[in-house]
Homo-oligomer: A and B are copies of this chain.
Amino acid sequence: MPEPKAAPAPAEVTDERLRQFAGYNMKRVYMKVRADMTETLAPAGLRVATFSALAVILENPDITQTQLAQALKVERSGVVVLVDELENADLIARNRVKGDRRSYALRVTLKGRRAWARAEALVHAHEARLFAALSPEERERLHALLRRIDGATD
């Protein structure tokens, strides 16, 4: 039998005290989601933030940058970079608005629609991979619970 040491480091390290919190488990899962999303979108030439912006512009043609900022819950200064990136890749266009020359009307280009379709498929595959341990019913339950919490804490 091995001789005991003075201050032996634990052979196995546990984190049960943190696992009791839903938030800790959410953080662990979210970190994996984020890392995998970054890798998933890289071949499509998108970052997570530009993917999200593209989705909102596609759904809301002629949206302004300020509205986009509100939808994504980020500051206006942050969307400038996102819109620059998408415009430089010819995925969206900044169109001038008649009647108010301060703002732009954002529109997804044809190239942008194609990029979105491809990215959307990649992200669906990503979620199938990450939530593979859950049955379709469980995935739907998780999805609904998360959405309800977000809606309730506005």
Contact = CB atoms under 8 A, between A and B. Distances in A.
A76 to B, nearest CB: 14
Contact of A60 (B13, B59, B141, B149): B13
A10 B74 CA distance: 19
- Band of interface residues on A: 35 or more
A97 B56 CA distance: 56
Interface residues of chain A: helix, strand, loop or mixed (majority): helix
B132 A152 contact: yes
Contact of A22 (B32, B58, B127): B127
Copies of this polypeptide in the complex: 2
A153 B142 CA distance: 16
12 contacts: A8-B62, A17-B55, A17-B56, A22-B142, A22-B143, A23-B33, A23-B123, A26-B30, A29-B146, A29-B150, A133-B149, A133-B152
Given A24-B52, A134-B149, 10 more contacts: A5-B98, A9-B64, A17-B55, A17-B58, A18-B52, A22-B127, A26-B29, A130-B153, A133-B149, A142-B142
Interface of A: 5-10, 13-19, 21-34, 37, 52, 55-56, 58-64, 67-68, 70-73, 95, 97-99, 103, 105, 123, 126-127, 130-134, 138-139, 141-143, 145-153
